[in-house]
Amino acid sequence: MLAYTYIEQGKFELLEKQRPQIKDSRDAIVRVTLSSICTSDLHIKHGSVPRALPGITVGHEMVGIVEEIGIDVGSVKPGDRVTVNVETFCGECFFCRRGYVNNCTDPDGGWALGCRIDGGQAEYVRVPYADRGLNRIPDTVSDEQALFVGDVLATGFWASRISEISREDTVLIIGAGPTGVCTLLCTLLKHPKRIIVCEKSPERIRFIQEYYPEVEVTTPEDCKNFVLQNSEHGGADVVLEVAGGADTFRLAWDCARPNAIITIVALYDKPQLLPLPDMYGKNLIFKTGGVDGCDCAEILRLIEEGKIDTTPLITHRFPLKDIGKAYHIFENKLDGVIKVAIISKVGHL
């Protein structure tokens, strides 16, 4: 089968590999129908994910059809259309039992797929702990509608869940990339009084204005003033930092009112400064990523009910054989790209 592979720093290649086999009684083999490219894949390519193993098949955002299951898999059966969770988790350890599945203590726990074990930018993928890692897609939900459930949408859902958003709140979301938009969609479900999105790219600002006209939009330069003018208590009640830019961490806490919750969803390339003397007396509450991806069933239900629709994010589609071109466009942000769908097999589009 074809599998997009991490060769060495700066180099991914489409290779012919053996189809994955069941290794453990809790594994499932999934025939991938659609996968996507995530910014984290680029982090691997650029060598900034030290635990990523050369030779690994990349890709951790995908949907497919269950091909084969181990004898201890009970929640899915061959033929089921499923989402695949970015995170591998046992469901039984100290952290899993508390919902902190990102910190699962299993050796493959956390983000392993497409990083430490072979991922899904391929024709088939082996999913460990399939009862936790796979969710059946409702019949009325298409593969494209479900494509982001296991990763960027799970992240947006988790971020808005832990941010304790109420109906009186002014919520600031910094960054309108794919994860920022998913965070926005999930924040809209909480019905806060006001949502302000801060984004620097004119293309992405236009996207937000076109699809989510009820949301206010500002730029990093104007953000602080805009938030002050459009909030009641000297800043945003909740800030979600999804940009991961050079100055966006500072912007996040600077735009927050005293006692605000600031949720850091972004993954930074560099350490960030926490200037406690400047923050003294602001009594801020910081929450940090990565995602605890254990809400996929609920997210699929919300999609089925028409409450979440991420299909506008899919701006480009490529067959797996052309994945190199897809990476080129995604990596260089060409042609108005937001997300790319990689078509591995003819699925249920």
**Least gap, CB of 253 to Zn ion (angstroms):** 25
The DSSP string of 92-156 is -SHHHHTT-GGG--STT-EE-BTTTB--SSBSEEEESSHHHHEEEPPTTS-HHHHTTTTTHHHHH
Among 27, 87, 144, 151, binds Zn ion (CB under 5 A): 151
- Interface with Zn ion, residue 155, by CB under 5 A: no
Of 24-32, 90-98, 174-182, 303-311, the segment contacting Zn ion by CB under 5 A is 90-98
Write out the two tokens for 134: 């796979």
Of 145-153, 205-213, 217-225, 229-237, the segment contacting Zn ion by CB under 5 A is 145-153
**Least gap, CB of 141 to Zn ion (angstroms):** 20
Among 58, 76, 96, 197, binds Zn ion (CB under 5 A): 96
Three-state secondary structure call for residue 49: coil
Measured at the alpha carbon of residue 32, what is the angle toward residues 30 and 36, in degrees to the nearest 5? 130
**Which CB, 38 or 165, lies closer to Zn ion?**
38
Q: Is 62 exposed, middle or buried (0-12, 13-18, 19+ CB in 10 A)?
A: buried
**Which CB, 12 or 226, lies closer to Zn ion?**
12
Asked whether 101 and 294 are in contact (CB, 8 A), the reply is: yes
- Interface with Zn ion, residue 63, by CB under 5 A: no
- Interface with Zn ion, residue 40, by CB under 5 A: yes
Distance CA 294, CA 278 (A): 36
- Phi first, then psi: give them for residue 219, nearest 5 degrees: -110, 160
Number of residues located near Zn ion, criterion CB under 5 A: 8
**Which CB, 38 or 127, lies closer to Zn ion?**
38
Distance CA 265, CA 160 (A): 10
Among 3, 28, 38, 252, binds Zn ion (CB under 5 A): 38
- Interface with Zn ion, residue 188, by CB under 5 A: no
Of 22-30, 43-51, 102-110, 329-337, the segment contacting Zn ion by CB under 5 A is 102-110
- Interface with Zn ion, residue 90, by CB under 5 A: yes
C-alpha count within 13 angstroms, C-beta hemisphere, residue 31: 13
Binding mask 273-312 for Zn ion (x = CB under 5 A): ----------------------------------------
C-alpha count within 13 angstroms, C-beta hemisphere, residue 151: 24
Q: How far apart are the first and last CA of the chain?
A: 21
The residues binding Zn ion (CB under 5 A) are 38, 40, 89-90, 93, 96, 104, 151
